[in-house]
Amino acid sequence: MSQKIIIVGAGPAGLFAALELTKDADHPEVTIIEQGPSLESRPRTETMIGVGGSGTFSDGKLHFTPVLSHEKLFDLYSLEEYQTFLDYSEKLFLDYGVTAPNTPENLAEADEIVEQCHQQGIKLYIRRCRHVGSDMLPGVVKNMVDELEKRGVKFICQTKIDQIVAKYKKIISIKSGNQNFTADSFLIAPGRIGAIWFQNQAKILGLNYKYQEVEIGVRVEFPATVMEKHSKIMHENIYSIQTPTFGDTVRTFCPCPNGFVAIENYQDFLCVNGHSNTNTFSSNSNFNFTVPVTLTEPTGNTSVYAANIAKLTNLLGDNKPLLQRLGDLKSGHRSTWEKINNNLFKPTLTNVTPGDISLALPHRLVTDIIEGLDILNRVLPGINSDSTLLYAPEVKLRGNRVTINRQLQTEIPNLFVAGDGVGASGNIVGAAISGIMAARGMII
């Protein structure tokens, strides 16, 4: 009888695990359980749940250089080993329809900008990146799902797993209400939306885990011309700044040139994110501007801390993200629709409440954001203008990391984990790779 495997979560981690598990003819029997809808019935506004996970309508920047957000597994794999997984996953992305070119194409031009940034006290990271675009990514996900279905993988959608049941250090089943699912091995890949759920399950199962860093801040929107010179050379540019007052690091992430600000719905709170297309553009650009936060005693629980900040921000915004002009934040005034309507440029996300971000985010983080934008203005003139728009909360929850080995196997031998929700990755490619690693460990 063939081995039976259940994967929870149909994001990049779950899908790539399934592709790896079924690549040979005599593959195990694989079922994917997903709390959200199938790809066809998934509304465009559902950014976090459904087949494809939060990858489906994302900006689709695929990073193939092992710096920054791939660092989650660097304690288990060397850079060289990790690069082989990056190369392997890149080939799969190409096989399933990614045609976007690599950037930066001209490394000398990119190096010149890096040098200019360094001269201004800013560290600029460059990662090799293919930008698929939110309009093209669902097609790539569809190609993967079609192939998996052809191989006999079963998708069970609209089914939220609420309990992982163990007996004598073995997972017996997983449960959704009174539905019971059994298998030989289980892969839990719940993404950021399932991070706190998995943390609670890990506690019940008696798994050891470490709290991870979270990132908290705002999404910054500005006229596309402000970053155009840099983003024409490299789609993915990450500026890192040390702030004078607190000595914190504040970083840009996920730049979306000519893009749109989007809502990230975590079900019990809302955050913001960004995306951009390959074929349709806005006249604004945006990026995430966040501060990494770790906590120690008496609580290290960064996920719950970040979720509470997001909830407080939602409270002030009446269940919508807050929007504030930078000039209003600096002068201590809330923004209003009148001020936003008279702003130099219009916001791309309007399902928001104009307000005062300084009432929601801790003083330290607000100071970091204001100082960081002031410094960034040295290389992106115009970013620090009063009309720059700030959306909050932008929170990057990371799942807390349970103890795992190189195959992402937990202390319970038939329980494997992958993706952002378990602290094994921080982006699409990282999640995909962690799924592949787990899959290789699961095949008996």
The binding site for ligand FAD (CB under 6 A) comprises: 8-14, 33-36, 47, 49-50, 53-55, 58-61, 160-161, 189-194, 197, 254, 262, 264, 273, 275, 419-421, 425, 427-428, 431
In this complex, which beta carbon is closest to ligand FAD, that of residue 215 or of residue 420? 420
Least separation in angstroms between CB 130 and ligand FAD: 10
Q: Which two tokens stand for residue 339?
A: 């001020």
Q: Toward ligand FAD, which CB reaches closer, 264 or 371? A: 264
User: What minimum distance in Å lies between the beta carbon of 208 and ligand FAD?
Assistant: 21
Is 50 or 393 the residue whose CB approaches ligand FAD more closely?
Answer: 50
Token duo for residue 338: 């009148």
Least distance in angstroms from the C-beta of 237 to ligand FAD: 13
Q: How far is CA 91 from the centre of its chain?
A: 22
Distance in Å, CB of 290 to ligand FAD, minimum? 13
Q: How far is the CB of 262 from ligand FAD (least distance, A)?
A: 4
**Identity of the residue numbered 14:** G
The nearer residue to ligand FAD, 254 or 357, going by C-beta atoms, is 254
Output phi, psi for 432, to 5 deg. Answer: -60, -45
Q: Between residues 262 and 366, which has the closer beta carbon with respect to ligand FAD?
A: 262
Least gap, CB of 132 to ligand FAD (angstroms): 8
Q: How far is CA 90 from CA 58, 101, 130, 436, in A?
A: 17, 12, 10, 12
Rounded CA-CA distance 201/184 in Å is: 19
CA–CA distances in Å: residue 111 to residues 105, 126, 234, 250, 417: 11, 9, 11, 22, 38
Best CA proximity match to 42, nearest among 18, 13, 10 = 10
Cβ proximity to ligand FAD, 68 vs 378, nearer residue: 68
Identify which of residues 73 and 431 has a Cβ nearer to ligand FAD in the complex. 431
CA neighbor of 259 nearest in space, from 297, 285, 221: 285
For 156, other C-beta atoms within 10 Å of its C-beta total: 16
Which C-beta is closer to ligand FAD: that of 255 or that of 354?
A: 255
Q: How far is the CB of 150 from ligand FAD (least distance, A)?
A: 21
CB of 246 to ligand FAD, least distance (A): 27
Nearer to ligand FAD, 50 or 354 (CB): 50
To the nearest whole angstrom, how small is the minimum distance from the Cβ of residue 170 to ligand FAD?
20
Closest to ligand FAD by CB, 248 vs 264, is 264
CA count, 13 A, side-chain hemisphere, 322: 28
Q: State in angstroms the smallest separation of the CB of 113 from ligand FAD.
A: 20
Q: How far is the CB of 243 from ligand FAD (least distance, A)?
A: 25
For ligand FAD, give the closer residue by CB, 141 or 366: 141
